[in-house]
Copies of this chain bind each other. A is one copy, B any other.
Amino acid sequence: MTTDTRETIMAVARKMVQTRGYNGLSFRELAKEVGIKSASIHYHFPTKGDLGSALARRYTEDGLAYLSGLRADSDDPQRWIKGYTEIFRMALLNDNRMCLCGIMAAEYDDLPPEVRVEVDAFTDVNVQWLSEVLSTCRPELGADQSQQQALAIYAAVEGAQLVARGRGDLGVFDATIEAYRVAGLLP
């Protein structure tokens, strides 16, 4: 079993960013956890922006793989949406963590351009997938309307996670998602 240092750095850093944000990520603290010196991090990721960018890209890839799997494993759009909100729920369940790109979105103005691009790409992937799901279960919607409501769903779910994480109460997240569903925002 070879433990790739680069992969270890990414795994540890992802957790740190999901709890403390991009600005809260410290190379020295990260290095200590990985078991190398902080200067060594720069060998694998020349700048903090390179690391942040790699984290966001990987996060988006993993998320897209999961979302594609959801649609492959079932024909029920209701289950797809349930699976979607489950991602955000799981982050909270895991040490009250946030969506990597959700927490970074709040730091948008402080983000290096290469990280911003990846945060934007994550949003695009989410909106695209939700938009496809909406087209399936509400075929009367036009492409623009689907896109529009997809963005609203994404924003609402990110907001639910943000608020629930502050409350430190998973029940708040569940109840908020339920309120969205009852209102008809979620299919």
Chain B residues with Cβ below 8 Å from A12 are: none
Chain B residues with Cβ below 8 Å from A64 are: none
- Could you say which of A65-73, A74-82, A100-108 contacts chain B? A100-108
Say whether A162 faces chain B, with CB atoms less than 8 Å apart.
yes
A113 to chain B, nearest CB (A): 13
Give the total of A residues in contact with B, Cβ under 8 Å: 43
Chain B residues with Cβ below 8 Å from A156 are: 155-156, 159-160, 180, 185
How far apart are the CA atoms of A98 and B159 in the complex, in Å? 13
A114 to chain B, nearest CB (A): 15
Q: Which of B19, B23, B155 contacts A160 (CB 8 A)?
A: B155
Main secondary structure of the interface of A (DSSP, over half): helix
Q: Which of B19, B120, B166 contacts A120 (CB 8 A)?
A: B166
How far apart are the CA atoms of A166 and B163 in the complex, in Å? 18
Contact B160 A24 (CB under 8 A): no
Q: Which of B19, B155, B160, B175 contacts A163 (CB 8 A)?
A: B155
Say whether A151 faces chain B, with CB atoms less than 8 Å apart.
yes
Say whether A179 faces chain B, with CB atoms less than 8 Å apart.
yes
| Binary contact track A126-149/B, C-beta < 8 Å → 1, others 0 | 000000000000000000000011
Contact A165 B107 (CB under 8 A): no
Say whether A10 faces chain B, with CB atoms less than 8 Å apart.
no
Which 10 A-B pairs give the minimum distances between C-beta atoms? A159-B159, A106-B106, A152-B179, A23-B23, A155-B159, A183-B185, A155-B163, A156-B156, A158-B159, A105-B166
Contacts A155-B159, A159-B162 aside, 4 further interface pairs with beta carbons under 8 A come to A21-B23, A106-B107, A155-B164, A185-B185
